[in-house]
Amino acid sequence: MPADRKHPYEPRCICNMQAGSQMIKLRGKSKALVRLFYLDEHKSCIRWRPSRKHERAKITIDSIHEVCEGMRTEVFRRFANNNFDPNCCFNIYHGDQVESLDLVSTNGEEARTWITGLKYLLAGISDEDSLAKRQRTRDQYPFNCSGCFLTSCCKWLRQTFSEADKNGDGNLSIGEVLQLLHKLNVNLPKQKVREMFQEADTDENQGSLTFEEFCTFYKLISTRRDLYLLMITYSNHKEHMDLNDLQRFLENEQKMVNVTKDYCKMIINQFEPCSENQTRMVLCIDGFTNYMRSPAGDVFNPEHYQVNQDMTQPLTNYYIASSHNTYLTGDQLLSQSRVDMYAYVLQAGCRCVEVDCWDGPDGEPIVHHGYTLTSKILFKDVVETINKYAFAKTQYPVILSIENHCTVPQQKKMAQHLMEVLQDKLDLSNINVNESRRLPSPELLKGKVLVKGKKLPANIDAEAEEGDVSDEDSGEEDEEEEEQINGDVRFCVLCKFLCRRRKSMRLSRALSDLVKYTKSVRVHDIETQAYMCSWQVSSLNESLTNQIMQLKPAQLVRLNQRQLLRVYPFNYRVDSSNFNPQPFWNAGCHLVALNYQTEGRMLQLNRAKFAANGNCGYVLKPKCLCKGAFNPMLEDPLPGHRKSQLVLKIISGQQLPKPKDSMLGDRGEIIDPFVEVEIIGLPIDCNKQQTRVVDDNGFNPIWEETLVFTLHMPQIALVRFMVWDHDPIGRDFIGQRTIAFKSMMPGYRHVYLEGMEEASIFVHVAINDITGKVTFYYISFLFCINVATEILTVVEGEVHFQNENFLTIYSPPLVKGSTDCYTKEDFLNRRYSDDVSSKDSRSTSQSASLRRPPSPPNTPHHIRKDFLNQHPLPQCSYSAPKNSLYNNHNLAESESSSLSSLDSLDLSTLQSRFPDNQQQTMGTLQREMNALFEQKMREIRCHSPLFLRGKS
């Protein structure tokens, strides 16, 4: 924690917590267990004993959401013989399911000690996102420590060392080291391990490693080959990168613009651990590794941690993060209802929460899942929690989706609680909207709570305190009555509307008046309703929405352009499972409600979706979903628009753990990992590819494989990285990271697996525009050049014929400064032969450092010249933004990006490839592009009239 945030009571609180306290742990309605609670030596988790869970009896500090004083939880309220002193009571909310640990200390001072100490520990993480948490953990990693590596105090490495020291003598024997390496998924030959062990064992006590010696040993086994090759490539075979090398790397590979020397100096001062190297202004392998493993080297665009989209458009132009049955902690039948879930989802970025209201005792409405055995909570407590946490993380509006089953008297009570608790958050009188009655923007509604519910029709007497509301007027489909839908609802294709048995209910004027922009209405006719007033919201279950999407996708898109539509899970999902939200996002559905209490693939997609805009709960929809005709189900939904090609080079993995569900745990075999990449978007874009399997290596597996994807609509796509452990009878899931396509950064990047401290995969990201005449002209041009007979120059897209002694090629992608010079002899030695060429010629081409596509057979000189005259290369339209260090942050809109491969790095050729008098400007992975073009262009040649000429 920074010094300026140091708590004055840290030493006393932390020391007392580490010493331990006898406290009562409440469980259920009557069980009270006396346990010794203490903070572990690393200040990373709370433990207690005795416990049948043994080492698993702990709560990590990072998993704690909140620490509350007093008897605020339902466990305290329901506990039999509840005569505890409130000053001795406190509870800890923790975990993905927001569980509550309810504790009673022996005295009030001891309770305050724990509350103060826990809040101090939480102060360092409460305002940080997951990436910052992970970086704080990596600050404990040996390569990230400032100053001398050997004298650094690294919590992570110390904990690893202590766990490996089985006999507790403060030293590690070779046997203990071998066991540790197996646990860390390191599969090295024993002889190699012994050599590194001996190299690190430098003191008089031979045969064992102290902690400092173990740090040296760990550094020996964890030096990254891939990063080392990358560093020496850009440093021209030096053991460090100077300012020019670093600047060139950032511009050529990471696609940063306006990189200054001062910026490079800042990187060296921040990430280089050696003070001597800092003085010399050079970055060695340790510093380079630190930088590449910092947030600056993450695949996620750092600008997207804040709101980066236009927030002044109508609400109908946004996806809105939404929760289903927000109050539930588990399944839909038997689980607990808790107000804490509202705090959890609101802080997680959710902007639409659901409140199912029913008549309760003593005139107080309650919240629970109707006709089930779920527990009940007070409506007033829910509103108070929403008021407290609605804008804790973001100021953009919260939609309160009320499912009203109450009688009029308790509806009035609901309205009273809403007005008394939320107060000015409900006041929308100062919101100015235009005469078209389009919904206001999230920017205008900052700090406001919108009540979504039924509203009295305009023909009711204005003085009446209540009135009847029919489904035909403004009803909403009740989720609890969904089982009756099959007999009551039918989707009529010919009549193009949804119809249902007409019902009515009695509605209070006070509650009706709180509804303004989000009036609940039933979907009657998706075609005509799209042109009605936009101040309304419809709710459909996933099954009905799917039917509409299959039969009338374009009409559904049109409806979503005009009014809000909420999609919620089908009633048969009693286990609180989630549906795939992507198809509904494809159709522009705004409020795709998910069960936030159920972790899994679907919630991971939801997190990735909304992380693209600072996790504020609102993401701007693509323009085609906001205006105009669009059908997401077509094979070419955007004819005439450019498509994007995503080229992912999966290079390596780092510290991949064994699967959580591994039967043998740490004692099991070392994993055999492979990476699977999935594109999730429009149906035409959905694709999945995987790398080969690397046997027996979870510590630093190397794949070096390129995966290529084509996307018609990248603005809406998600990219999902999954790591699996191959097994003879199947595969075991290790971890994943899902990222919005438009949030991906180009160049060499680390993809950190979600929820894991150190596990990552190292990739290279490139995006290319593959549509239009530009790509065809470039390909045709390459195939028409016969460099043995004609030498020409291509600069800024212009073609010039020159003499036969020199050639300048402007290589793809068209990036300023990417001009490489080669003599005619270089090209004769390096060009690729055609399929019918001799083996000797092919072997020569394969050894070339610069790869070029083959020349087409039977292509006379005059045909090449005529072709160039008729189809000149397009002018380069590249222009770098002036207000950002990164070029084309939004990869969905980028026109081109470099492509290359580490497998092309041959250290023996570095001097000849980059002579001292020639500045290196081409990206190290970029040279692989032509090899990829060769493979793709062979297919094109078979269908191109240019190459069919002269054939029978």
pLDDT at 770: 81
In a domain, 892, yes or no: no
- Judge if 216 and 279 occupy the same domain: no
Cβ of 460: how many Cβ atoms within 10 Å?
15
Helix (H) or strand (E) holding 916: none
pLDDT at 941: 55
In a domain, 86, yes or no: yes
CATH number of residue 581's parent domain:
3.20.20.190
Question: What's the rounded Cα separation, in Å, for the pair 769 and 711?
Answer: 10
Residue with tokens 């527990």: 375
**Over residues 190-219, mean pLDDT:** 83
Question: What's the rounded Cα separation, in Å, for the pair 830 and 852?
Answer: 7
Sign of CA dihedral 614, 616, 621, 627: negative
pLDDT at 932: 56
pLDDT at 920: 38
In DSSP terms, 323 is beta-bridged to 594
The model's pLDDT over 749-800, given as tens digits with 9 standing for 90+, comes to 999 999 887 799 999 999 998 854 333 333 333 333 333 333 333 333 333 4
**Over residues 250-254, mean pLDDT:** 94
- Please tell me which residue, 753 or 100, carries the higher pLDDT value: 753
| Average of per-residue pLDDT values in the chain | 76
Last residue of a domain, one of 58, 92, 126: 126
Structure tokens given for 699: 């510590």
% of the chain surpassing 70 pLDDT: 71
In a domain, 116, yes or no: yes
Q: How confident is the model at residue 155 (pLDDT cuts 50, 70, 90)?
A: low
Q: How many domains does the chain have?
A: 5
Interhelix angle for 542-551 vs 553-562, to 10°? 120
- Judge if 591 and 672 occupy the same domain: no
Residue 486 has pLDDT above 60, yes or no: no
In a domain, 926, yes or no: no
Helix (H) or strand (E) holding 594: strand 591-594
Residue 222 has pLDDT above 50, yes or no: yes
Flag the least confident range among 42-46, 69-73, 131-135, 475-479.
Answer: 131-135
The model's pLDDT over 259-292, given as tens digits with 9 standing for 90+, comes to 999 999 999 999 998 888 899 999 998 889 989 9
Residue 132 has pLDDT above 60, yes or no: no
Sign of CA dihedral 509, 511, 516, 518: negative
Active site residues: 324, 368
Cβ of 620: how many Cβ atoms within 10 Å?
19
Highest mean pLDDT among 74-83, 517-526, 597-606: 597-606
Structure tokens given for 226: 């891939």
In a domain, 693, yes or no: yes
**Is pTM beyond 0.75 here?**
no
In a domain, 596, yes or no: yes
Highest mean pLDDT among 354-358, 816-820, 946-950: 354-358
Residue 483 has pLDDT above 60, yes or no: no
Q: What's the per-residue H, E or C state across 93-121?
A: EECCCCEEEEEECCCHHHHHHHHHHHHHH
- Please tell me which residue, 121 or 20, carries the higher pLDDT value: 20
- Please tell me which residue, 182 or 582, carries the higher pLDDT value: 582
Residue 438 has pLDDT above 90, yes or no: no
Residue 460 has pLDDT above 60, yes or no: yes
- Judge if 334 and 292 occupy the same domain: no
pLDDT at 848: 35
Question: What's the rounded Cα separation, in Å, for the pair 427 and 430?
Answer: 8
CATH number of residue 732's parent domain:
2.60.40.150
pLDDT at 835: 35
pLDDT at 936: 55
- Judge if 564 and 709 occupy the same domain: no
**Over residues 627-644, mean pLDDT:** 91
The model's pLDDT over 383-437, given as tens digits with 9 standing for 90+, comes to 999 999 999 999 999 999 999 999 999 999 999 999 999 999 999 888 877 656 7
- Judge if 516 and 385 occupy the same domain: yes
Q: Which residues does 766 contact at the CB level (< 8 Å), separation at least 6?
A: 646, 647, 648, 649, 746, 897, 898, 899, 925
pLDDT at 714: 95
Find out whether 327 and 337 touch, Cβ atoms under 8 Å: yes
pLDDT at 149: 33
**Over residues 324-342, mean pLDDT:** 94
- Judge if 737 and 688 occupy the same domain: yes
Question: What's the rounded Cα separation, in Å, for the pair 542 and 485?
Answer: 13
Question: What residues make up the domain containing 761?
Answer: 643-783
Flag the least confident range among 226-235, 431-440, 571-580.
Answer: 431-440
Find out whether 746 and 895 touch, Cβ atoms under 8 Å: no
pLDDT at 555: 93
CATH number of residue 38's parent domain:
2.30.29.30
Q: How confident is the model at residue 504 (pLDDT cuts 50, 70, 90)?
A: confident
- Judge if 103 and 246 occupy the same domain: no
- Judge if 618 and 650 occupy the same domain: no
- Judge if 442 and 525 occupy the same domain: yes
% of the chain surpassing 90 pLDDT: 44
Last residue of a domain, one of 198, 222, 246: 222
The model's pLDDT over 668-687, given as tens digits with 9 standing for 90+, comes to 578 899 999 999 999 999 99
In a domain, 850, yes or no: no
- Please tell me which residue, 871 or 368, carries the higher pLDDT value: 368
Cβ of 140: how many Cβ atoms within 10 Å?
19
pLDDT at 32: 87
Question: What's the rounded Cα separation, in Å, for the pair 181 and 798?
Answer: 57
pLDDT at 594: 97
Q: How confident is the model at residue 79 (pLDDT cuts 50, 70, 90)?
A: confident
Last residue of a domain, one of 760, 783, 806: 783
Find out whether 349 and 319 touch, Cβ atoms under 8 Å: no
Q: Where are the alpha helices (DSSP H) in 405-496?
A: 408-422, 471-474, 485-488
In a domain, 940, yes or no: no
- Please tell me which residue, 900 or 527, carries the higher pLDDT value: 527
**What are the DSSP calls for 669-713, one per residue?**
PPP-EEEEEEEESSTTT-EEEE-PPPTT-SSS-EEEEEEEEEES-
- Judge if 654 and 761 occupy the same domain: yes
- Judge if 35 and 98 occupy the same domain: yes
CATH number of residue 173's parent domain:
1.10.238.10
3-state secondary structure of 190: helix
Residue 125 has pLDDT above 80, yes or no: no
Which of 683, 678, 688, 686 minimizes the C-alpha distance to 637? 683
- Judge if 254 and 202 occupy the same domain: no
